[in-house]
Chains A and B, each alone.
Chain A
Amino acid sequence: MAHLTKTYPIKARDYLKAGEVSMEIHGLMKKIGFDSDLIRRVSICAYEAEMNVVMHGGDGVLNVEIGSESINLNVKDSGPGIEDIGLAMQEGFSTATEEARQMGFGAGMGLPNIKKNSDRLEIISDKGMGTEVRVGFTV
């Protein structure tokens, strides 16, 4: 299979559209015919990362690279960044707003979910410099 790369914009605070990018990736992987467990793991990670940009970040992009041996997600936003990545990775830690909580988000399980469902995770961020989340999967 040829290498496939796609880039999608994500808009901060747009809760109606939030998740559309991950649904696209889900559909794309289904069409290619990946195993359902891998599809689920990749879409969960994409969805949690996308929701994080919408809830906590600034406008950003999600880049997906689909190859026959690996799948990589790169989610980058220009928001406030994460000051303490170790703290953000802890289950239950969340700075989500009331608005996000009412929609069912902000359980503080997003980053731990990404960690659990991926083979590789790297977060590059600091206060004031935006956030980049790189997630890798072995096919």
Chain B
Amino acid sequence: MKLSEVKDILKATIETGGDKLDMEIRAGAGGDLMSDILRGPKEGVLLLSGLNNIQSIRTAIIAGASALVLVRDKTPDEEMKNQAREHGLPLFTTPFTMFTACGRLFNAGLRGVDKKRTV
């Protein structure tokens, strides 16, 4: 799935990374626990988070995520945007809750990072 499709499906606002909409997203992952997000490889993965703080930006970058979406209309501050920009991390916000945002993406064909696919 392309990042541009993610943007449409989530009715997302682009905070940074509007030039990367052609990027291919391999899978999705959502969570509010930093160490959980850091557990498995997240390269090429879209991250969804409900934590609106600088640590979620740093976690996404360190985990090697492709892009970060803040759910439920969280508005990132300047420092978050600067850090995302500096590291080339696309940062979006969506009005949907975590559950709904993940559900919409799944419905459109995006899958998780589960080791064994049971779906």
Contacts and interface: CB of A to CB of B under 8 A. Distances in A.
- State the main secondary structure of chain A at its contact with B: helix
Interface in A97-116: 103-105, 107-110, 113, 116
Contacts of A110: 35
A116 to B, nearest CB: 8
Contact of B61 (A23, A103, A108): A23
Interface residues on A, range: 20 to 34
A98 to B, nearest CB: 14
A13 interface: no
Contacts of A103: 34, 51, 53, 55
Nearest to A94: B35
> Taking each of B58, B61, B64, B87, which has the highest tally of chain A beta carbons within 10 Å of its own beta carbon?
B58
A36 B64 contact: yes
A3 B93 CA distance: 42
Interface in B86-103: 87
Contacts of B33: 104-105, 107, 109
Given A44-B63, A109-B35, 13 more contacts: A19-B55, A19-B58, A19-B59, A19-B62, A23-B61, A26-B61, A26-B62, A43-B62, A104-B34, A109-B39, A110-B35, A113-B35, A113-B38
22 contacts: A15-B55, A16-B54, A19-B54, A19-B58, A22-B58, A23-B83, A36-B64, A39-B64, A47-B38, A47-B58, A47-B59, A48-B35, A51-B34, A104-B33, A104-B34, A104-B51, A104-B59, A105-B33, A107-B34, A109-B36, A109-B38, A113-B39
Interface of A: 15-16, 18-19, 22-23, 26, 36-37, 39-40, 43-44, 47-48, 51, 103-105, 107-110, 113, 116
Query: 3 nearest interchain CB pairs?
Result: A109-B35, A19-B58, A104-B34
